[in-house]
Amino acid sequence: MKELLIATKNKGKVREIADLLLPTGIQVTSLLDHPGMPDIVEDGTTFRANAAKKAVVIAQHTGLLVMGEDSGLEVDALGGRPGVYSARYSGEHATDETNNDLLLKELQGVPQEKRTARYRSAIALADKDACVDVVDGSCEGIIATERRGTHGFGYDPLFIVPSYQKTFGELDLAVKQTMSHRAQALRKFLKLLENYLVRTEKG
């Protein structure tokens, strides 16, 4: 069975990705299964750059096929912040809780029509030789004025999907998987991965 290593230690992210890749029969592992990996400094200015760096560094270290994913939240009223700094928005020791607290504080008094935002995801595929390609996905939403729901991770309890009038924190994972930024990027990634496997098996 072909192994795909996801270059992350985020259990929530691994669960979402593994669930979507289940039909492929590919064995999905993560950095949680491979201790002693090099630390990756996410110094890219875009999600695509960070995703590619994660994939390439780990692929070169392990010789395995690696997926690198970087995602985050862009809030229009904050000029696109937190963006690539979404995971460490509230500082070096940021948690989902402190990040959400800071976001609510920065948007205090901002009316709903100006609380527009989007989640973005970039996913890269790399083998031991190079980065194969990078794909992306996005999902438009509105930032709530208080946390709603306990599902998901990151900013999910604050991210309202207009078509459902519910946050990602309130939606079941199965529903989220139909339209989330990561789901959209993963569908493109699946095609990229399939094409790569066909090409390399022939070669």
Measured distance CA(84)–CA(42) in Å, rounded = 9
The verdict on whether 70 is a catalytic residue reads yes
Give the whole-angstrom CA distance, residue 150 versus residue 88: 21
The sheet with strand 65-75 has its strands ordered as: 27-30, 3-6, 65-75, 116-126, 131-143, 159-161, 166-167
Residues forming beta bridges with residue 111, ordered by sequence position? none
- The active-site residue, picked from 39, 43, 70, 101, is 70
- Looking only at the bridges linking them, the beta strands covering 159-161 and 65-75 are unpaired
Question: Catalytic site residues?
Answer: 70
